[in-house]
Every structure is written in structure tokens, then in C-alpha cells.
Amino acid sequence: MSVSESALIAFASLIQIDSQRREKVRNAPTPVHVVNLASEQGHVFNQATLMKMQAEKTKHLHDDHLNNASSWGEALLLCFGAHN
């Protein structure tokens, strides 16, 4: 696992417990916004890592879960298990 992947996993763990940051991710219009939010917290990864890991996790979700996502950020949260 790369440093970038580890940083993304750490950020995903953070947003699972931090409702304020989770809302920011939910409202993020693009992957770049999420990368910047994470970077502000010291979790440095790039857009490519985010998109590749999201794609990998999306394969394991049922279509109904993704169909219920109201935004790109919501779909991201579903992929990383932080959708509350």
C-alpha cells in the first residue's frame, strides 16, 4: 500500500467519526475538493488515488446503495462506509 493510499484510509476513518468533516465531504462537488479537505487535516493523497480507490470499492456496492446517493460526495461516503 502506498503512502497516498494510507493517507486516504486514515482520512476515511476520520470522516467516519467527525460529522462536520463528513458533511463537507458529502457536499464536495469534485474529487479535488475532497483532496483539499484531507490535506488541511494532514492527510495527503492525490485525486488519482481517491478515484482509483473509490472505483475499487464501488464494485462491491449494490446498485441500490449508489442510486440513493444524492451527490458525488454522498457516493464517496458510501464507498468508504461513512454515510451516516
List, for residues 16-68, the tens digit of each pLDDT value: 899 999 999 999 988 999 999 999 999 999 999 999 988 888 888 778 877 88
pLDDT at 21: 93
pLDDT band at residue 82 using 50, 70 and 90 as cut-offs: low
Pick the closest to residue 80 from 48, 58, 47, 52 (CA basis): 58
pLDDT of residue 55: 87
Do 76 and 25 contact (CB within 8 A), yes or no? yes
pLDDT higher than threshold 60 for residue 84: no
The Cβ of residue 48 has, within 10 Å, a number of other Cβ atoms equal to 11
pLDDT for 79 equals: 83
What pLDDT is stored for residue 3 in this prediction? 86
